Amino acid sequence: MDQKYMPEKIEPAWQKKWEDDTLFNVTEDSTKEKFYLLEMFPYPSGKIHMGHVRNYSIGDVVARFLRMRGLNVLHPMGWDAFGMPAENAAISRGVHPAKWTKENIDAMRAQLKRMGFSYDWNREVSTCEPEYYRWEQLVFLKMFEKGLAYKKTSSVNWCASCQTVLANEQVEAGKCWRCHQEVSSRELDQWFFRITAYAEELLDFCKKLPGWPERVLTMQKNWIGKSHGVEVDFPLKGRDDAIRVFTTRQDTLFGATFMSLAPEHPLALELAAGMPQEEAVRTFIEKTRKQDKIIRSSEDLEKEGVFTGAYCRNPLTGWDMPIYIANFVLMEYGTGAVMAVPTHDQRDFEFARKYDLPLVVVIQPEDTALDAETLEAAYTEDGVLVNSGSFNGLPNRQAMEKIADFLEEKKIGNRTVQYRLRDWGISRQRYWGAPIPIIYCEDCGPVPVPEADLPVTLPLDLQLGEGGQSPLPKSADFLNVSCPRCGKPAVRETDTMDTFVESSWYYMRYASARYEKGLFDPEAVAYWLPVDQYIGGIEHAILHLLYSRFYTKVLRDLGFIAFDEPFTNLLTQGMVIKDGAKMSKSKGNVVDPNYLIEKYGADTARLFSLFAAPPERDLDWNDQGVEGSFRFLNRIWRLVTENLEVLKNGPSPVNQDTPSQALHRKTHQTIQKVTEDIKRYHFNTAISMIMELANETYAILPLREETTGAFQEAVRAMLRLLSPFVPHITDELWYQMGGTTCLINESWPAFDSSATKVEEITLVIQVNGKLRDRLSLPVDVTEQAATEAAQASEKVKRYLEGKTVRKVIYVPGKLVNIVAG
RNA sequence: GCGAGGGUGGCGGAACUGGUAGACGCACUGGAUUUAGGAUCCAGCGGGAUGACCGUAGGGGUUCGAGUCCCCUCUCUCGCACCA
């Protein structure tokens, strides 16, 4: 009696066999073409979710497919194991972060294995292990040496609920990216990575990453925010020095009527000193500095300022310009000083109206004169220069160049570029992270930990504080050391590194995960890296992907590696949606992969997540759709098990009868289509083509002597084509049919182009572009014969009645269009 | 506001360089089988007054022919947003 399809029985058995046979473990092999396929590693939260199932199913199809095509495929998995949820669990449940993390990793590893993903587990990496982060500390020291890691006091983003600092990239619309609480600002002594030193290269290589989605490159480009402009000196009245401003609108220079300084500008207080305004200026500066950073940089903040009492001179007009302190001017961008052109900048306009400052129109539309008195908003469009001395009459775009030339000639200013990108703040006032390998000595200042003393191990015997504060500053054992330079008592840095540092290089570690002599074995890295295909969520478009690109360039410049970009091709998969919303606990629309595996098996979970939508789009989860995928696998199961005797024999040659030839053709068309579709990551259409093949294979039943060969061929191809998607059921059926090798070690089926050829084609006949008939004609029909056949058609004749044929369009193999009127 | 990407049956989605719109699946309808339910199998399934018509957000254009190319409008999603 045939056995029912019971995934819960066969799947674990195959997973065990794969593991026992170390089927997925790879080594460097210079005789084979390598392919490094990587999916973003997960944070070990304890359970996989549908996003993981989808991400890793996509990756596994590609990995298994390329393996079958003969490539040496590196497909590793690991854990982004540092981070706050571990600390939160420690606080709420009293478990140590290390224990919590380890248990979660064990649970998730088991789940991933239960999904049947083809990872080389020998290369598993967990970033919270000293064997991993010690190399990150080494890189930190090298960066420190080169000035790429440095410390400065600055106003930083502070998340009160997470009790730590956030990088600019980790603040989303004023809220913490992780806990979504309001972010405020604090003055803190922080470590930074000098990512701005690579701004130009990070931007430039956007053009050199053709394998990345346009969307991601655009987001990175916007984030880096390069703008071209000029720096201009405005001489201070009564002093020898000048205020330097950055502007992208040098064409409006003649309209600059006052100056705005950031409250943090070094000259702010100095200029007001001794003036009647001094007290007002001091109060204003204090007030603004106390103000929340995010509120301060939001557009709807009322523009406010205060006059310093000082003046500078417009270098082109010679006018005296009052100098104001303005709350909307940011010290971190440009020079912290802005020349104010109220007629052509909306912010300056509002400011000028409020404080009754002069307005001068210098650009206006070609045919309309603007009146500064009655202007209701700044005119920011293009136009022609007026009130601008010798530049009058020039279109402003041209004037930009001319004025820039003029400024450079007169040595008043220089063309320059500015970036929006800021340096990456990596200090975190957290416990569960990689310690920053620095020691503070009263005499020597910050001293790097000697390389020989690495790693600086995170002590595991500490208890977390009540409010989530790091226990490191209170741990005498950790804290107290002697200065490596002078030997005097000193203390360790107690901040840990942002976890994005770990994820910036884990993909290199996989190349030689157990290597003990350095970050990685240079030969292994030279063989495997860069990653050929990276797959992950779009939410990392800026954060992780920009940091990784930066870190790669740093490692290159430190001499560790020879490539420029870490990920040659990037695929960003869409979210998993249910009932119109992203799956989330708060929405209550979460589907647990465990439940799916129990009810339908891993193969169904994989199949549905690949079939329901193309990878880049959001996937709408539908329980009935899952049933459909399960049903399909049952169909495949029965197709094989009910014809096992026939399938065990053979394969015998395909007969020449019509049904056999039709199935034979469909088999080879399917091989061709599925191969092409997997190559371009159109898994949903690949699967639907296999479904069609299954339908046609069923249609040939019941088997007769002469159709056996075609049937055997179709089934054997079908199982191999399906195996990257649903590896368990296909291996099971393959072995039942007498196979002795797992399908991942079989070769991918080749298609016979002569088999896909047809003798007859359906030619579409149109009259004036409208479909009127379909004719079955030989493939090699001549244009003349096709045209004649078309005009002979009864259906077509009716439409031609009373009309003259003016033209006939013939597209070989497709259609005949008769133009008549 | 700026930038990017989308709008195709009841639903998820197909359609390579312009050439049969709606593959495949879900849901639904009818039938077979069954004591019944489920499962399975067969058939149908864009709309419509069911032979000549209309249909890919709406409007215009190019073309023998447009979901696909061009222009305008609407709409949704995402990213950035006082960056001088």
Q: From residue A181, how far is each of A172, A177, A714 by CA, in Å? A: 10, 8, 57
Encoded tokens for A331: 């010290």
Q: Which residues of A231-263 are buried (b: 16+ CB within 10 A; e: fewer)?
A: bbbbbbeeeeeebebbbebbbbbbbbbbbbbbb
The Cα A744–Cα A23 span in angstroms is: 8
Q: Which nucleotides of B are covered by protein (CB under 7 A)?
A: 3-5, 11-15, 19-21, 23-27, 39-42, 51-53, 64-66, 78-84
CA A693, C1' B66: Å apart? 32
Close Cβ partners of A238 (under 8 Å, ≥ 6 residues apart): A310, A311
Q: Which residue is nearest to nucleotide B11 (CA to C1')?
A: A622
User: For strand B, is any atom closer than 7 Å to the CB of A118?
Assistant: no
Identify the CA nearest to A602 among candidates A490, A729, A722, A765.
A729
- What is the helix, strand, coil percentage profile of chain A, to 5? 40, 20, 40
Over residues A719-729, the pLDDT tens digits come to: 999 999 999 99
- pLDDT for A180 equals 77
User: For strand B, is any atom closer than 7 Å to the CB of A769?
Assistant: yes
Identify the CA nearest to A350 among candidates A422, A236, A278, A260.
A260
Over residues A527-570, the pLDDT tens digits come to: 999 999 999 988 888 889 999 999 999 999 999 999 999 999 99
- pLDDT for A251 equals 94
Helices A683-699 and A602-611 pack at an angle, to 10 degrees, of 110
Tell me the pLDDT band of A297, cut-offs 50, 70 and 90: low
User: For strand B, is any atom closer than 7 Å to the CB of A618?
Assistant: yes
pLDDT beyond 90 at A803: no
Structure-model confidence comparison of residues A785 and A531, the more confident one? A531
CA A297, C1' B3: Å apart? 20
pLDDT beyond 60 at A282: yes
User: For strand B, is any atom closer than 7 Å to the CB of A612?
Assistant: yes
Q: What is the CA radius of gyration of chain A?
A: 34
The average pLDDT across A311-321 equals 95
CATH superfamily label, A135-194+423-499: HUPs (3.40.50.620)
User: For strand B, is any atom closer than 7 Å to the CB of A229?
Assistant: yes
- Which of A150-159, A279-288, A384-393, A547-556 has the weakest average pLDDT? A150-159
Q: Which residue is nearest to nucleotide B16 (CA to C1')?
A: A676
Close Cβ partners of A682 (under 8 Å, ≥ 6 residues apart): A614
Residue A351: nearest nucleotide (C-alpha to C1'): B82
User: For strand B, is any atom closer than 7 Å to the CB of A673?
Assistant: no
Q: Which residue is nearest to nucleotide B66 (CA to C1')?
A: A769
Residue type, A495: D
Q: Which residue is nearest to nucleotide B39 (CA to C1')?
A: A631
- pLDDT for A590 equals 84
CA A365, C1' B79: Å apart? 33
Beta strands in A361-426 (DSSP E): 363-364, 384-385, 413-419, 424-425
| CB of A687 closer than 8 Å to CB of A703 | no
Close Cβ partners of A1 (under 8 Å, ≥ 6 residues apart): none
- Which of A179-183, A410-414, A627-631, A741-745 has the weakest average pLDDT? A179-183
User: For strand B, is any atom closer than 7 Å to the CB of A107?
Assistant: no
- Nucleic chain B contacts, protein chain A, residues 454-483, CB cut-off 7 A: none
User: For strand B, is any atom closer than 7 Å to the CB of A301?
Assistant: yes
The average pLDDT across A45-54 equals 92
- pLDDT for A513 equals 96
The Cα A612–Cα A592 span in angstroms is: 17
- pLDDT for A233 equals 95
Q: Is the ipTM of this complex over 0.95?
A: no
Q: From residue A499, how far is each of A99, A140, A586 by CA, in Å? A: 18, 14, 26
Is A135-194+423-499's fold the same as A622-745's? no
pLDDT beyond 60 at A793: yes
**CATH class of the A760-820 domain in this structure:** alpha beta
Over residues A342-363, the pLDDT tens digits come to: 999 989 999 999 999 999 999 9
CA A805, C1' B47: Å apart? 32
The Cα A726–Cα A730 span in angstroms is: 7
* Backbone φ/ψ region at A395: left (φ over 0), alpha (ψ -120 to 50), beta: beta
Q: From residue A193, how far is each of A21, A130, A196, A368 by CA, in Å? A: 45, 22, 8, 51
- Which of A57-61, A481-485, A586-590, A610-614 has the weakest average pLDDT? A586-590
Structure-model confidence comparison of residues A231 and A172, the more confident one? A231
CATH superfamily label, A7-127+503-582: HUPs (3.40.50.620)
CA A747, C1' B43: Å apart? 39
The average pLDDT across A360-379 equals 88
- Nucleic chain B contacts, protein chain A, residues 540-579, CB cut-off 7 A: 541-542
CATH T-level topology, domain A622-745: Isoleucyl-tRNA Synthetase; Domain 1 (1.10.730)
Encoded tokens for A368: 């309309």
The helix or strand, by DSSP H or E, that contains position A634, with its residue range, turns out to be helix A623-641
Query: Does domain A226-419 correspond to CATH entry 3.40.718.10?
Result: no
Over residues A196-216, the pLDDT tens digits come to: 999 999 988 777 888 888 888
Q: Which residue is nearest to nucleotide B20 (CA to C1')?
A: A764
CA A774, C1' B76: Å apart? 39
- pLDDT for A71 equals 96
CA A310, C1' B77: Å apart? 50
pLDDT beyond 80 at A290: no
Computed over every residue of chain A, the mean pLDDT equals 90
Q: Which residue is nearest to nucleotide B41 (CA to C1')?
A: A698
Residue A713 phi/psi, 5-degree rounding, is -60, -45
Max Cα-Cα span within chain A? 109
Residue type, A795: K
- pLDDT for A57 equals 96
Q: H helices within A4-76, ranges in order?
A: 7-20, 50-68
Residue A361 phi/psi, 5-degree rounding, is -75, 130
Q: H helices within A184-248, ranges in order?
A: 199-204, 214-224
CA A372, C1' B71: Å apart? 36
Identify the CA nearest to A403 among candidates A244, A242, A260, A232.
A232
* Backbone φ/ψ region at A579: left (φ over 0), alpha (ψ -120 to 50), beta: left
pLDDT beyond 70 at A502: yes
Encoded tokens for A681: 């990551």
- pLDDT for A1 equals 41
- pLDDT for A295 equals 67
User: For strand B, is any atom closer than 7 Å to the CB of A774?
Assistant: yes
User: For strand B, is any atom closer than 7 Å to the CB of A627?
Assistant: yes
- Nucleic chain B contacts, protein chain A, residues 376-435, CB cut-off 7 A: 418, 420
The average pLDDT across A816-820 equals 86
The Cα A82–Cα A127 span in angstroms is: 7
Burial of A591: CB neighbours in 10 Å, binned 0-12, 13-18, 19+: middle
Encoded tokens for A208: 């050199």
- pLDDT for A292 equals 65
- pLDDT for A322 equals 96
Close Cβ partners of A503 (under 8 Å, ≥ 6 residues apart): A41, A80, A127, A544, A547, A548
The Cα A40–Cα A110 span in angstroms is: 18
Burial of A821: CB neighbours in 10 Å, binned 0-12, 13-18, 19+: exposed
Structure-model confidence comparison of residues A686 and A792, the more confident one? A686
Q: From residue A760, how far is each of A338, A721, A781, A816 by CA, in Å? A: 75, 27, 9, 16
- pLDDT for A294 equals 62
Helices A708-722 and A727-736 pack at an angle, to 10 degrees, of 150
User: For strand B, is any atom closer than 7 Å to the CB of A810?
Assistant: no
The Cα A127–Cα A124 span in angstroms is: 10
| Percent of the residues in chain A that have a pLDDT greater than 90, as a whole number | 64
The average pLDDT across A485-498 equals 95
Q: From residue A171, how far is each of A502, A549, A628 by CA, in Å? A: 19, 20, 42
Q: Domain extents for chain A?
A: 7-127+503-582, 135-194+423-499, 226-419, 622-745, 760-820
The Cα A306–Cα A262 span in angstroms is: 11
The average pLDDT across A685-698 equals 94
- Which of A12-16, A129-133, A640-644 has the weakest average pLDDT? A640-644
- pLDDT for A343 equals 93
The average pLDDT across A316-328 equals 94
> What does A286-325 look like in DSSP terms, one character per residue?
HHHHHS-HHHHTSTTSPP-EEEEEEEEE-TTT--EEEEEE
User: In the block, which residue shows the tokens 């195959």?
Assistant: A14
The average pLDDT across A464-476 equals 83
- pLDDT for A673 equals 94
User: For strand B, is any atom closer than 7 Å to the CB of A253?
Assistant: no
User: In the block, which residue shows the tokens 């590896």?
Assistant: A727
